[in-house]
């Protein structure tokens, strides 16, 4: 491990892109997509760490588990989006302001 | 995984799978199965911990590290109170009973998994399961506010999961394994270059701080608690966010050996954020108009005490943190369940419209007052002892500024609760109080049980102190 591995640049880049996507967009769907990009960056980091620590099999097992969890979380998130659109009639995050005090 | 307590994870999961099939024709069967499952678990735990030989032996025979068992007990206790309350709270038809009880039981199973995990990845997996069930539970009553609270919870806490994964990958890179023991051994040994490990731990701590709603990451907490379906907000505030965030913080504080000064920057950071959270929560709670929202800000403030103590990390502080975590579960459950009773009977939780409720709802009022006084740390209730331990630990470690500030904000806590008591429970009878009547006995039972527990823990403090000291000794080795 002489040079800094390339994947970590991509990890940083993906997490930045994801967070930027979350910050810059008003639509909830786009925010969910940004969230997904962030978590994909984190997964890439895990895989890369496994390869560098000579423990790739373990890391692959973890990433497979993570993908399954992702599916469940995305399903829950999308269900929330649909429910929000039915109940509140909007997908604009700035219009969600009925709770305050 | 701690295998001794696996049954407490698997049995609720089994019941959760069973409920949709068994209760398809007879709706009320869902209530019965959920309550029986949790009550059986609670009875089993009580026998395990409270039998006379165990108490006289100073709890030396407790399996595992003791913290797991204590928190499994708290999870089952709050879970049972919430299911018992919901069984009588829900109107027929809405919401879907089978789905609701299945989700509650899955969330109990996931919390048991979180507290019995012995490596970071298992911890992460169960925290995600817990988060997914909470999103669904918050929106139980299909109201616009519930969906809004759940969406905010989702978008503000899910990035925390990515941070935790990033922290896990850095730990894997530097330690080669993810078990708690490995990190403990690394921190206890005198290896000089602990930089990358500290960085990985910092990322994970950041994730858990967001998940536990510590200031400045607290913005989702009031919305989620206020918007949630009434009994669910008790479940959420009483135990779910505490297990998914605060428990992990305490565990990491013990693993990182904050008390011998290895990860000093992290310790300072945690203590600062804890103090900030105490201040922000208390000051924001002073100007709230809604009962549930004020309770939510008070929750932010109380979590601050736990984080402050965890950040200090001395054995006494860890004892205080664990004790306060347990106390928080008891008094916040009482308060949120009573807010649900108020909502059912008086039809509102707006403090301007309520007033003089002690005439109309004496039991609800007086159990709330006990819980409020315990939160504010009035002796001899249990909240007094945990705050005393935390402040003593701070003073002992030479952090006199923090100790004095913690004491001052404890008085602010008393102040905003006095304001609330006067507005809601005492004073002249308002129109809402004229129109409302005391809720039925089954709805009062969980609050009365928890209030009795608050008083009992305060009075029987020496026994509980022995237990908590045993836990702190075991997890700090």
For the segment A89-98, the average pLDDT, to the nearest whole number, is: 78
Looking at residue B23, what is its pLDDT?
Answer: 82
Summarize pLDDT for B352-387 with one digit per residue, the tens: 777 777 778 888 888 988 998 898 888 888 889 999
- Give the mean pLDDT of chain A: 87
For the segment B322-344, the average pLDDT, to the nearest whole number, is: 90
Looking at residue B265, what is its pLDDT?
Answer: 85
In a domain, residue A18? The reply is yes
Looking at residue B361, what is its pLDDT?
Answer: 84
- Give the mean pLDDT of chain B: 87
Q: Is B244 on the interface with A (CB under 8 A)?
A: no
Contact between B172 and A41 using a beta-carbon 8 Å cutoff: no
In a domain, residue A95? The reply is no
Contacts of B172 in chain A (CB under 8 A): 46, 49-50, 53, 55, 58-59
Does residue A4 register a pLDDT over 90?
A: no
Looking at residue B351, what is its pLDDT?
Answer: 78
Q: Is A51 helix (H, G, I), strand (E, B) or coil?
A: helix
Percent of chain B with pLDDT over 70: 97
Nearest to A88 among B129, B147, B223 (CB): B147
Q: Which neighbouring-strand residues pair with B119?
A: B179
Residues within 8 A of A (CB atoms), B 134-153 only: 135-136, 139, 142-145, 147-152
Q: Give B438's pLDDT tier (boundaries 50, 70, 90).
A: confident
Q: pLDDT higher for A91 or B164? A: B164
Q: How many domains does chain A have?
A: 1
Looking at residue A62, what is its pLDDT?
Answer: 92
Looking at residue A100, what is its pLDDT?
Answer: 67
Buried b (16+ CB within 10 A) or exposed e, B41-78: bbeebeebbeeeebeeeebeebebbbbbbbbbbbbbbb
Contact between B125 and A15 using a beta-carbon 8 Å cutoff: no
Tally A–B CB contacts below 8 A.
115
Q: Which chain B residue lies closest to A65 (C-alpha atoms)? A: B125
Looking at residue B2, what is its pLDDT?
Answer: 62
Q: Which chain A residue lies closest to B128 (C-alpha atoms)? A: A69
CATH code assigned at A14: 1.10.287.3510
Looking at residue B168, what is its pLDDT?
Answer: 92
Contact between B143 and A87 using a beta-carbon 8 Å cutoff: yes
By the 8 A CB rule, do A10 and A38 touch?
A: no
For the segment A80-92, the average pLDDT, to the nearest whole number, is: 86
Summarize pLDDT for B143-175 with one digit per residue, the tens: 888 888 899 899 988 899 999 999 999 998 888
Alpha-carbon span B187 to B254, nearest angstrom: 10
Does residue A13 register a pLDDT over 90?
A: yes
Contact between A72 and B128 using a beta-carbon 8 Å cutoff: yes
For the segment B251-266, the average pLDDT, to the nearest whole number, is: 82
How many Cβ atoms are within 10 Å of A78's Cβ, its own excluded?
12
Contact between B169 and A46 using a beta-carbon 8 Å cutoff: yes
Q: Mean pLDDT: which of B22-26, B169-173, B191-195 is highest? A: B169-173
Alpha-carbon span B203 to B307, nearest angstrom: 16
Looking at residue B442, what is its pLDDT?
Answer: 85
Q: Give B133's pLDDT tier (boundaries 50, 70, 90).
A: very high
Contact between B135 and A101 using a beta-carbon 8 Å cutoff: no
User: What does chain B come to in residues?
Assistant: 477
Looking at residue B468, what is its pLDDT?
Answer: 84
Percent of chain B with pLDDT over 90: 36
Domain assignments of chain B as residue spans, ordered by start:
3-476
Contact between B223 and A31 using a beta-carbon 8 Å cutoff: no
Q: Please give, one letter per residue, the 3-state secondary structure of chain B.
A: CCHHHHHHHHHHHHHHHHHHHHCCCCCHHHHHHHHHHHHHHHHHHHHHHHCHHHHHCCCCCCCCCCHHHHHHHHHHHHHHHHHHHHHHHCCCCCCCHHHHHHHHHHHHHHHHHHHHCCEHHHHHHHHHHHHHHHHHHHCCCCCHHHHHHHHHHHHHHHHHHHHHHHHHHHHHHHHCCCEHHHHHHHHHCCCCCCHHHHHHHHHHHHHHHHHHCCCCCCCHHHHHHHHCCHHHHHHHHHHHHHHHHHHHHHHHHHHCCHHHCCCHHHHHHHHHHHHHHHHHHHHHHHCCCEHHHHHHHHHHHHHHHHHHHHHHCCHHHHHHHHHHHHHHHHHHHHHHHHHHHHHHHHCCCECCCCCCHHHHCHHHHHHHHHHHHHHHCCCCCHHHHHHHHHHHHHHHCCCHHHHHHHHHHHHHHHHHHHHHHHHHCCCCCCHHHHHCCCCCHHHHHHHHHHHHHHHHHHHCHHHHHHHHHHHHHHHHC
Does residue A2 register a pLDDT over 60?
A: no
Looking at residue A15, what is its pLDDT?
Answer: 92
Q: Give B189's pLDDT tier (boundaries 50, 70, 90).
A: confident
In a domain, residue A91? The reply is no
Token output for B247: 């428990």
For the segment B429-450, the average pLDDT, to the nearest whole number, is: 82
Summarize pLDDT for B70-84 with one digit per residue, the tens: 899 999 999 999 999
Q: Give B314's pLDDT tier (boundaries 50, 70, 90).
A: confident
Alpha-carbon span B275 to B407, nearest angstrom: 11
Residues within 8 A of A (CB atoms), B 159-198 only: 159, 161-163, 165-166, 168-170, 172-173, 176
Q: Residues of A near B (CB-CB distance < 8 A)?
A: 11, 15, 18-19, 22, 28, 31, 35, 38-39, 41-43, 45-46, 48-50, 52-53, 55, 58-59, 62, 65-66, 69, 72-73, 76-77, 79-81, 83-84, 87-88, 93, 96, 98-99, 101
Q: Is A5 helix (H, G, I), strand (E, B) or coil?
A: coil
**What are residue A26's phi and psi, to 5 degrees?**
-95, -25
Contacts of B289 in chain A (CB under 8 A): 101
By the 8 A CB rule, do B234 and B297 touch?
A: no
Nearest to A101 among B151, B154, B288 (CB): B288
Alpha-carbon span B55 to A26, nearest angstrom: 58
Summarize pLDDT for B384-402 with one digit per residue, the tens: 999 999 999 999 988 889 9
Does residue B456 register a pLDDT over 80?
A: yes
Summarize pLDDT for B196-206 with one digit per residue, the tens: 888 899 999 99
How many Cβ atoms are within 10 Å of B149's Cβ, its own excluded?
30
In a domain, residue A1? The reply is no
Q: Give B177's pLDDT tier (boundaries 50, 70, 90).
A: confident
């Amino acid at each position: 491990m002489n040079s800094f591995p390339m994947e970590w640049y991509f990890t940083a880049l993906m997490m930045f892109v994801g967070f930027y996507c979350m910050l810059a967009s008003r639509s909830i769907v786009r925010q969910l997509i940004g969230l997904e990009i962030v978590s994909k960056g984190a997964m890439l980091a895990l895989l890369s760490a496994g390869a560098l620590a000579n423990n790739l099999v373990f890391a692959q097992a973890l990433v497979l588990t993570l993908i399954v969890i992702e599916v469940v979380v995305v399903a829950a998130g999308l269900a929330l989006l649909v429910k929000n659109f039915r109940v509140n009639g909007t997908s604009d995050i700035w219009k969600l302001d009925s709770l305050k005090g | 995984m701690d295998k001794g307590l696996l049954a407490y994870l698997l049995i609720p999961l089994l019941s959760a799978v069973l409920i949709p099939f068994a209760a398809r024709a007879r709706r009320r069967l869902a209530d019965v199965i959920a309550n029986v499952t949790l009550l059986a678990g609670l009875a089993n735990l009580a026998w395990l911990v409270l039998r006379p030989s165990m108490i006289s032996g100073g709890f030396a025979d407790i399996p595992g590290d003791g913290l797991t068992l204590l928190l499994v007990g708290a999870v089952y206790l709050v879970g049972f109170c919430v299911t018992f309350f919901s069984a009588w709270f829900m109107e027929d038809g809405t919401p879907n009973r089978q789905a609701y009880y299945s989700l509650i039981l899955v969330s109990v199973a996931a919390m048991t998994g979180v507290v019995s995990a012995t490596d970071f990845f298992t911890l992460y997996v169960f925290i995600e399961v817990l988060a997914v069930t909470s999103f669904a539970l918050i929106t139980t009553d299909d109201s616009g506010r519930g969906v809004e609270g759940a969406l905010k919870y989702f978008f503000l806490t899910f990035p925390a999961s990515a941070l935790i994964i990033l922290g896990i990958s850095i730990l894997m890179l530097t330690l080669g394994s993810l078990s708690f023991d490995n990190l403990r051994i690394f921190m206890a040994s005198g290896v000089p270059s602990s930089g990358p490990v500290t960085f990985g731990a910092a990322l994970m701590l950041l994730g858990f701080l967001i998940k536990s709603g510590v200031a400045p990451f607290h913005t989702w907490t009031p919305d989620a608690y206020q918007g949630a379906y009434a009994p669910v907000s008790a479940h959420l505030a009483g135990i779910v966010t505490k297990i998914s965030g605060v428990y992990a913080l305490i565990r990491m504080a013990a693993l990182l050996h904050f008390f011998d000064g290895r990860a000093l920057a992290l310790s300072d950071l945690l203590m600062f954020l804890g103090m900030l959270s105490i201040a922000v929560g208390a000051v924001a709670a002073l100007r709230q108009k809604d009962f549930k929202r004020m309770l939510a800000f008070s929750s932010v403030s109380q979590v601050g005490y736990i984080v402050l103590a965890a950040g200090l990390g001395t054995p006494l502080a860890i004892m205080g943190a664990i004790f306060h975590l347990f106390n928080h579960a008891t008094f916040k459950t009482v308060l949120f369940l009573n807010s649900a009773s108020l909502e059912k009977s008086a039809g509102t939780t707006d403090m301007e419209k309520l007033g003089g409720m002690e005439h109309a709802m004496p039991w609800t009022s007086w159990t709330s007052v006990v819980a409020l006084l315990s939160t504010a740390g009035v002796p001899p209730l249990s909240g007094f002892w945990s705050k005393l331990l935390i402040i003593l630990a701070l003073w002992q470690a030479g952090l006199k500024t923090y100790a004095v500030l913690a004491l001052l904000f404890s008085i602010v806590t008393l102040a905003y609760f006095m304001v609330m008591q006067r507005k809601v429970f005492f004073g002249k009878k308002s129109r809402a109080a004229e129109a409302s009547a005391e809720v039925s006995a089954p709805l009062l039972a969980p609050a009365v049980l928890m209030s009795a527990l608050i008083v009992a823990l305060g009075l029987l403090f020496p026994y509980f102190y022995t237990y908590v000291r045993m836990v702190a000794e075991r997890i700090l080795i």
